[in-house]
A and B are shown apart, each in its own frame.
Chain A
Amino acid sequence: MSKVVVVTSGKGGVGKTTSSASLGAALAQTGQNVVLIDFDVGLRNLDLVMGAERRVVFDLVNVVQGDAKLPQALIRDKRIETLSLLPASQTRDKDALTEEGVLGVINELRAKFDWIICDSPAGIEKGAQLAMRFADMAVVVTNPEVSSVRDSDRIIGMLDSKTLRAENGEHFEKHLLLTRYNAARAAKGEMLNVKDVLEILAIPLLGIVPESADVLNASNLGCPVTLHNPESAAAKAYADAAKRLRGEMLEIVEPVEKKGLIGRLFGRKAAVA
C-alpha cells in the first residue's frame, strides 16, 4: 500500500523542501521506494536541494498536460537507487496544473512507489491545495515562532476540509515536524518551546529538527542532510521522523542546550559539596 504524504506549512521558508528531501532520502535509505514531487510550479527548488537541477528534461506540468510520459519525467537519484524525483516546471505557473491531471499522475505513481512525497508550495492557494488534495496524510512543517505556528494552524484547518479524504468524511492524519528548533533561544523565551507549539496545534509530533548549519550546507551542496552528514543531529532527527512515519514508536527527545546542561550539572555539584 503506497502512501501519499504532503509536506506543507502555509508559511514560506520554514523548511518544506529541505524536509521533503531529507524525509524522502531517509525513507529511501531504509529500502523503501520513494518519489518526491515538486508542486511549486514556477518556483521549483526541490531539484536543487536534490542536486538534480541539470538532469531535468520533462516536468510535472508536461506529464499533467500529456506532453510527456511519466517515466520520461522521473529522475532517479544517483546516490540512492530507490529514490526518484518528479520536478516542477520553472517556466510555468500553478494554473498549468489541473485536479484531474494531478490525480492521474498520483495514481500512476501509486503503482510504482511505496511513498509519494508531495512538496507543497507556500501559501494557501491553488498550488498548495492541489499538493494536499489527494494526500493520505500530511507532515506539517513548523518553526517555533508565532507566525509560522498560526499559518500551520490555518493549513491544518484546510487539510481537514479541502482534502479528498476529509471531504469523504474520513480522518486525515497530520503530523507536526518542528524544524529550526533552537533549544538555547527557546529556553530564554525568545522562541516558542515545544510544549507551546503542541498546545496550539494539537496534532501529534513527528520530530524536532534542531537549527543547524549542517542542514544549510547540505541543501547548498544539493544533497539531503541524511546522506551528506548522517551523523549530524539534524540527520538523525530526520531519520527518526522517517521511522515514525513508517509506524515505529520512537521516543522523541527534546533537544537541550549543551551549555545549559553542563551549567546545571556544575550547579548541582556545587550544591552537594
Chain B
Amino acid sequence: MNRLSTGGQIDRTTQLRFTFDGQPYHGHAGDTLASALLANGVRLMGRSFKYHRPRGVLSAGSEEPNALVQLRKGGRQEPNTRATVAELFNGLEAASQNAWPSLKLDALAINDRLSNFLTAGFYYKTFMWPAAFWEKLYEPIIRRAAGLGSISTDPDPDSYDKGFLHCDLLVIGAGPAGLAAALTAGRAGARVILADEDFRMGGRLNAETHGLGDQSCADWAAGAVAELASLPNVRLLGRTTVLGAFDHGIYAAVERVADHLAEPAPGKPRQILWRIYSKRAVLCAGAIDRPISFANNDRPGIMLAGAMRAYVNRWAVTPAQTVAIFTNNDDGHRTARDLLAQGVDVAAIVDTRVDAPACDGVQVLAGAQVVDSAGRLGLKSVTVRQASGQEHRLRIGALGVSGGWNPNVALSSHQRGRPEWNEAIAAFVPGGILPQGMRVAGAAAGRFSTQGALETGAGAAIQALSDLGKTVQAPDFPMAEDGATRITPFWHVGGTKARAWLDFQNDVTVKDVTLAHQEGFRAVEHLKRYTTLGMATDQGKTSNLGGLAVMAELTGQSIAQTGTTMFRPPYTPVAMGALAGRSVGRDFRPTRLTPSHIWAVEQGATFVEVGMWLRAQYFPRADESDWRQSVDREVRATRGSVGVCDVTTLGKIDVQGRDAAAFLNRIYCNGFAKLAVGRVRYGLMLREDGIAMDDGTAARMAEDHFVVTTTTANAVSVFRHMEFARQCLWPDMDVQLISTTEAWAQFAVAGPKSRALLQKIVDPEFDLSNDGFPFMACGEITVCGGCPARLFRISFSGELAYEIAVPTRYGDALMRRLMDAGREFDVTPYGTEALGVMRIEKGHAAGNELNGQTTALNLGMGRMVSDKKDSIGAVLSRREGLQDENGLRLVGFLPKNPQERVIAGAHLLDRGAAPRAANDLGYVTSACYSPTLDSYIAIGFLKSGETRLGDVVRAASPLTGQDTEVTVVSPHFVDPKGERLRA
C-alpha cells in the first residue's frame, strides 16, 4: 500500500495486528496508530467537532487536532487519544468517534450544510430564546451532537502513581538541542533529567535525512541517547510529557509507563505523575509547523509538510502515491526532496513566493496558491492559481502544507513569560520573564537549524551549570546543517466565499474570525472565547497564530501588536487517573480507626465517618430490624444503668508550662486562671471576630499541666489556632503544646451505674465516691492493677458519667474489661447516634450549633464571656450587632404531636406566617427521637427565644414539604437541674 520499501525506524520483522473501527490491519513495531493507518491507505480517521467534516491526520505529533480516536475496550477504554502519539501494540483496538452510524456515513454531517447557521457565537445567538429551553432542550442536544469520545463506566483496572524527582538540570525535549544540553551537563557529572514525550528520543533528528558529522542524524541521536543512558547521573524519561512549569523550578510531568502495552506489567502502574524539583531547566521543546489556510483545506490527505516528511523518513510511509507541496518557505522544498528521494511522485511545489527557489526534479510554481480542494472522504485534487491568475487542477492524494514553524513556547509562558514576535522567522519566540531557572534552546528559541540547536542546547547547559557554580566546556559536536530560515509570511488564501479552516478541531474558519472582527471581538482573548479558536483539546497548537494573523490583517495591526493568548498547563490533556494517583476508592480519603475498632467490628457495629475517623454509629442486635430500635435501646440502657462509648476521636491537646493557666485564660472566653488542680472546666473558644469557634473541657492535672479537649472536627484547627497564639501573640509565655489525640484511648462511661462499674476497674487506692471524686474532678489513676490512666468526671449525656483514658495500646483491652466487668449491670456499648440523642436531650451544643455563625450569647452562654480579662474574641463579641436583645437564642422544641418528626434545618415561623425570609424567626439545628421523652425533640435558634418559652411556632422545611407545630421549651429536656450528673 503506502509503506515505502526501504528506510524508517520501524522493525519490519515484527508484525503487529490491530483494528480500526473493527477492520483488521497490520503495522510494525515503531509505528504510531497514525503511521500504521496511513501505511494501510487509511486517510479518514475522524469527524470534526461541529460540522462533522471528514478528517485525517494533520500532524505527526501531540499537536494533532483531527485524528482523535478511542482506544481499547472495557475498563481501559480511553477517549480522545491522538492517533499520532498512540504507540502501536499487538492487539490494539481503535475506533473513530463523533460519527454515527459510521465514520464514512455520518448523519450529523448535515451540520456541514447548515454551516451558515453555525458560525462563531451561534450558541449565544440561536439559543437565547426562549430562555427556559436552554437547560431542557438546547444544551442536551448540543452536548450530544458536539461530542468527543466516550468514557467507560467500568472501573479502571490499572493503578496510577505519583512520584517526586530532584535534579540539577531538567532538559525538556530530546531533540538536537535537548540531547546537546543533556550531554553537556551529564558528562560534567550534574544530575540531569531528560524528558521527552515521544517513545523514541531524538525529536526531529528522527524525521530528517541530513547528516551529523559522518553519521545520519538519527544514528547520531541513537548514539547520544545510548551514552546518556550509560551515565549514572542522568535519568532518561521517555514517553514523558512535561505538562507545566510551576513556581521555583517545579515541573509536572506524566510518564506513560504502560500506554504502549496491552496491559501494564505486573506490579507496574499505567502512568506516573512526576513532580520534578529542578535547580535549572532548559526548554528544548522544538517547533510545530503551521498550516496555510485555503478553501476546503481540511480534507483527509492535506497535512503539514513537516509531518509528511516525518512519515516518509521515520515511518517509511507516504500518505499517497502522488503528492504536492504548498509552501511559503524553504522547508516545504525539503519535504519535496525527501519524498522524491523515497520515490514518491511529487506533482508540484506550489510556492507563494514569487522569488521561490528551484528544486531539482520537481516543478516549482512560484507566486502560486492552492485555492481549493476536492474529494468527499479524502483529497482527490487541488485547484492551483498560478501567478498569472490562471487556474488548473492537480490530481493528487495528499498535499503537504508548510506555513512556517512556530517555536513551541508553551512552557516558557506558564508563569509570567509573554512571547515576543520575531520578524526574521515570522513567529513568536519566548519572551518576558521566564519561569525561574528556565532557559530556552534550539527551535523552541527560534534557532531552527540543527547546528543552531546543538550550539544553543550546549550553551544553555553551560550557563545553567555556571549558575550552580560549575565550569563546563562545550563538547565537540560534529558539524550539522546550518541553513537559514527563508520565509515570506503567508497566512491564508483570500478571495473565497468557501470556508477556509484555521482551527481544525473546533471548526473555526477565516469567516468566523472575520465575523468576530465585525462584531467587535477584536482583542485576542475575546477572539478566542467568541470563536472558540484554540480552545479545543489541542489548545490551538497549530491554529492560534493563523487566527491572530487574520485578525491582525483585519484590524490593520501587526501580529506583534495583536499579541497572543496565554498558554496554561497542562501542555497536553492528562488522564484524570494520573492526577488522582492512588487516591481512589477507599484510599480517596483514608479513615482513622479508634482503639476499640476491632472490638466494635466483632460486635457487629455499624460505622460512620466522622471527620477522618470511622466511629461506631450503633450496635444492632439480632432481633433489631431498624436502626432506631438499636439507638433507643442504647439510650435507655445508658440512662437506666450504664453505657460505654469510645470518645477517643475528640481532640486532646496537652498544655504544659509555668504560664499554662494564663495562656488558657486568653484562649477561652471564660476564666481559667483560678481553676484548681484536679478540676475540670467547660471552656468556650471564640474567634477573634467574636463568633464561637469550638468548645470542650480543660482539666488541670497539675499547677503547670492542663489537658484540653476539642470537638472531633476541629481538633486540627484548634491546635493550629493555639500554636498561633503561643508563637505569634505571646511568644515569651512559658507554655508548650502537643497534640495527644492518638496517644490516649478515651471512653465515656455514663449512667447511674457508671461509678459501680468503674470501681471494679480502677485500682482500689483511688476513691471514686461523690465526695472523693465529685462532678468535674480529674486525676491520674491506675486501673486493672497498675495500668496508668486518667479519669475525668465529666458528662455529655447528662448522667453520672466519667471519661477514662489509657495509653492507646491498652484501649482495646480496657474496652473488653469494661464489658466483662459491667455484665452484672447489663453494660451497653453505645455509638455516635445514642451519643447525639443524649446530648440533644440534655441541650448541649455541638457542631450543628457551633456552626461558625453563632455567638456565646446565641448559645445561651453570653455571661460566660469574661470582661475581667483579655481573651481572644472577647472584644468583638461585645459588638453592638452581636448583642441584639432580640437576637437568636438556643431553645428546645417539642412537636405538638410527639410522633411527628422535626427536621434539622427547618426554619421557624409564627403560626399563620407565610414561609418567606421576612418572617423567618430562626432555625432548627439538631433534632432526634427521644426515647426518654417518647417524643421527637429538637433544639435550635429562635429570635428572642428565652422570652418565648411555651409559645407555639412552626418548624417549616419548604425543601421537604414539612410544616410542624412545635412548642418552645428549655433546651434541657432531661434533668434540667443537673442532679443526675452530680449524684
Q: Does A associate with B in a complex?
A: no
Residues of B within 8 A of A (CB): none
